[in-house]
Structure formats: C-alpha cells, structure tokens
Amino acid sequence: MPSLSGKVAFITGGGRGIGAAIARRFAREGAAVCITYVTSAQEAASLVADIEREGGRAMALQAEGADMQAIQTTIRTAAEHFGKIDVLVNNAGMLHVDTIDKFPVETMQRMLAVNVAGVFVAIQESVRFMPDGGRVINIGSITSDYVPIAGASVYATTKGALASMTRALARDLGTRGITVNNIQPGRIDTDMNPADGPMAGRLSASIALGHYGEVEDVASLAAFLAGPEAKFITGANMKVDGGTSL
C-alpha cells in the first residue's frame, strides 16, 4: 500500500518547481493534494489534470503568500473539500537579493510576511483541521546558517526564523503527535536557479558532489517525513544540499 494512502496534503507554492515535485510524489504515494499558486495558474491546472489522469485527487487554489486571510481561506476550503488536512507543506517563499544600503524596506517587509508570517498562519490554520499524528513540513534553505553570497541578509534572516519556528512548534504540537520538520535545500535545478544558468558553473564548484540537485531529491525527503516511518522525527532541520554547507 502507498505510504500516504488516505491522507490529504496541503502544499503552498505547489504550481511549479519543488512544490510541484512534492505534489506529484505525494499523489503517487496515495495522498489527495491541494496546491496553492500565485501566478502560475496554467502550470497548477496542468498538474491537477496530470494527477487526476493517473487516478489521484487534486485541486488548485490561488493564494498570495503575503495575504493572511487568503491563506486561511484556502486552507478552510481544502479541509471542507477533502474532510481534513493530514500534511501541510509550506513551500511558498520569496527571494530578493540586494546589499543592505539598497534593500527596499517594503521588499523586506513583504519577505517577512511571505517567508515567516504566512508560514505561521498556515500552520495555525491547518492544525485546526489536522488529526493527531499529522505532519508539518517546512521548506527552508541552507542560508539559515550558511550564506554563500552577499546581499542575502533578509532571505537568510527569514529562513533562520523558519528554522527556529520549526523547533518551537515541534514542542508546541508534540502533545498531539504532530511532527514539525524543516527541509533546507541548497542548489536545486529549478526555473529560478537552473543548473545550466549563467551562475551554475561557479555555484556547482561549491557543492561537494559537484552538481545541482533535482526537485525530486527534496520531494523524496518530504515524502519520507510525511510517512509513517518518520513518526519519531520532529523539530529537525535537514539539509538537502549535496554537501554545499560542509
């Protein structure tokens, strides 16, 4: 039997990249999935169609990551549609790189809203519909404790906050048997940071394994953390970076 048979997963930022890979993997493992997107409506619709074509259940809802009410509404909609939420994956995020003397305050505030406040609200709302023994999986970044380039101060701050939030909420939700873990990807081949992009050669040199990871590498760990064999793992920050941060 697939490891997530009968489960319902809610995945923010699931229209493309890592989020889409997690949605596909969860669906193959038997979960019904709800993904959110901001602008990638076509990609989200195509993903839902692919999952349904293979016999799975899926839906896509639009939600802006900085809109707390929209986050709450989409979670409630998914819970009403599927009856519950067993697994929450906080994948939506925002990245802007600039030196501190040029970094717009408005952009800093928006990054804090999307990468920190939005995650907190999503967890807060999801656990209202989550049975005991559920799973919360955050998608962070190795920049929480490894900053390889200048200009990433705000992004690193938000991902550091996410790592701390993961540990604290693991304690808060432990009495219900809900685990909270944080996956910290490094260089992953996505449309935002392609393995054949202009910076790839220099960035690959910093990876111990010598090459970018694939979105499926992150999805595999997410599937494990969502499954029954990870029931005693909580509060963990796990790197998927090919040895970049060694």
pLDDT value of residue 238 = 98
Is 132 in contact with 178 (CB distance < 8 Å)? yes
Burial 97-122 (b: 16+ CB within 10 A, else e): eeeeeebeeeebebbbbbbbbbbbbb
Residue 245 domain-assigned? no
Residue 2 domain-assigned? no
pLDDT value of residue 200 = 79
CATH code (residue 189) = 3.40.50.720
Residue 244 domain-assigned? no
What distance in Å separates the CA atoms of residue 79 and residue 28, rounded to the nearest whole number?
20
Question: Out of 37, 146, 155, 212, which one is annotated catalytic?
Answer: 155
Q: Which residues of the chain have pLDDT under 50?
A: none
155 belongs to the catalytic site: yes
Global pTM reads 0.96
- Residues of the domain holding 169: 8-239
Residue 44 domain-assigned? yes
Structurally, the chain folds into a number of domains equal to 1
Q: Which residue, 223, 229, 230, is CA-closest to 28?
A: 223
What distance in Å separates the CA atoms of residue 195 and residue 212, rounded to the nearest whole number?
6
